[in-house]
């Protein structure tokens, strides 16, 4: 069944009750038994019934509106992705509705409902840190509703995704630190449930292995919240508690890297002469702090352009056509600044 095909008439026929009974049950009117309300609501959810004229609209026409769900608007990377999305959307006559989840699953769920109630033709999604069960997306995909995931790719079947080469970005960052003379490199990792975090960890470990450096499990520190204060405390604790101290840090994002630099400085150490630091994402502030932060740049604008282009292809397919699952991987670029330049070449 395609999204939005069910009507009140379908529910009434299935349960052998009147149209008015279904309508009143859905609206919690008095006079309808709790058992009838339960049966009506359960079947409505199963059939993906949507109230008012929404189901009819979704079935018969386009709204020329795209829904975009992101974790944070203030995140520099996501702001560049949005710019790319809007550029292509407006050029094709589409409007964009934006919701941010603030990394909360409940807000993600309510955002999806709001988008569907606003009759969007498709969704572009970067899911929240709290999301571990993707059933709310799987349910829509099974009904052939167009969704493209970007940056954060869920581990579910038959999806269309746009991401960056997180493994290679992390590998290049760690290899750069090693080539600069840093041999004892810690990693401030991202949330374990995010695929991008695991791939960046894998890239870090692969670079150490390829340079015959044994990794220290105690130097892989998850930073699930992702704030500067969190990485400051974790880095300070690492340097204060360890007898053998790291001389390099690869952080899974620039915020964590900035917190690590502040912690290192608070202990009287210097960046990059004592400790080299590399981040990931190339936030605007990265080139403005002291010393400027080496980082891995992600093509956010290009990701937005590609994601919306794939979504429009899906929307424009005939209703009985399915799309081919695919993952487009965009390349990253290592940006070398003073925070990791231990070796000065003539």
> Hey, where are the domains in the chain?
8-51, 63-164+300-329, 166-298+334-340
Task: Report the pLDDT value the prediction gives residue 5, as an integer from 0 to 100.
Answer: 60
The third-level CATH classification (topology) of the domain covering 8-51 is: 434 Repressor (Amino-terminal Domain) (1.10.260)
The rounded average pLDDT for each run of 10 residues, N- to C-terminus, in the chain (346 residues) is: 66 88 82 89 85 49 90 88 95 94 95 90 96 93 93 93 98 98 96 94 98 96 93 95 89 97 97 97 94 97 97 86 91 97 63
Check if 63-164+300-329 and 166-298+334-340 are the same fold: yes
Summarised one tens digit per residue, pLDDT across range 215-236 is 999 999 999 998 999 999 999 9
Q: How far apart are CA 283 and CA 76, in angstroms?
A: 6
CATH no. for 166-298+334-340 = 3.40.50.2300
DSSP-derived secondary structure for 79-98: HHHHHHHHHHHHHTT-EEEE
Q: Alpha carbon of 266 to those of 11, 25, 215, 240: distances in Å?
A: 65, 63, 26, 11
The pLDDT, as a whole number, for residue 54 is 46
pLDDT at 52: 54
What are the residues facing 294 on neighbouring strands?
278
The pLDDT of residue 345: 47
What would be the CATH architecture of the domain defined by 63-164+300-329? 3-Layer(aba) Sandwich (3.40)
Distance between CA atoms of residues 150 and 308, nearest Å: 10
Contact 199, 151 (CB under 8 A): no
H helical segments located in 47-194: 54-60, 76-91, 105-117, 135-142, 166-179
pLDDT at 332: 97
In this prediction, residue 292 carries a pLDDT of 97
Q: In the prediction, which pLDDT does 118 show? A: 85
**pLDDT score recorded for residue 293:** 98
333 alpha-carbon distance from chain centroid: 19
């Amino acid at each position: 069944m395609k999204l939005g095909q069910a009507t009140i008439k379908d529910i009434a026929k299935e349960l052998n009750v009147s149209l008015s009974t279904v309508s009143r049950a859905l609206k919690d009117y008095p006079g309808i038994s709790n058992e009838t309300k339960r049966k009506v609501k359960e079947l409505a959810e199963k059939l993906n019934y949507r109230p008012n004229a929404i189901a009819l609209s979704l079935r018969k026409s386009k709204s020329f509106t795209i829904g975009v769900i992101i974790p944070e608007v203030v995140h520099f990377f996501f702001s560049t992705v949005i710019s790319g999305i809007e550029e292509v959307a407006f050029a094709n006559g589409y409007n964009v509705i934006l919701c941010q989840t603030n990394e909360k699953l409940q807000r993600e769920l309510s955002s999806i409902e709001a988008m569907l109630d606003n009759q969007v033709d498709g969704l572009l999604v970067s899911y929240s840190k709290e999301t571990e069960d993707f059933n709310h997306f799987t349910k829509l995909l099974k009904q052939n509703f167009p969704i493209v995931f970007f940056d954060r790719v869920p581990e579910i079947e038959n999806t269309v995704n746009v991401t960056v080469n997180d493994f290679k970005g992390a590998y290049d960052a760690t290899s750069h630190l090693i080539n600069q003379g840093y041999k004892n490199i810690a990693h401030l990792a991202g949330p374990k449930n995010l695929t991008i975090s695991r791939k960046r960890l894998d890239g870090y470990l692969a670079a150490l292995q390829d340079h015959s450096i044994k990794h220290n499990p105690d130097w892989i520190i998850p930073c699930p919240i992702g704030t500067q204060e969190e990485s400051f405390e974790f880095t300070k604790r690492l340097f204060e508690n360890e007898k053998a101290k790291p001389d390099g840090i690869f952080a899974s994002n620039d915020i964590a890297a900035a917190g690590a630099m502040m912690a290192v400085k608070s202990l009287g150490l210097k960046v990059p002469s004592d400790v080299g630091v590399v981040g990931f994402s190339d936030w605007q502030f990265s080139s403005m702090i002291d010393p400027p932060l080496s980082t891995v740049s992600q093509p956010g604008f290009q990701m937005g352009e590609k994601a919306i282009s794939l979504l429009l292809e899906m929307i424009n397919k005939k209703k009985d056509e399915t799309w081919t699952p695919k993952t487009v991987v965009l390349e990253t670029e290592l940006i070398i600044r003073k925070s990791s330049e231990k070796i000065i070449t003539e």
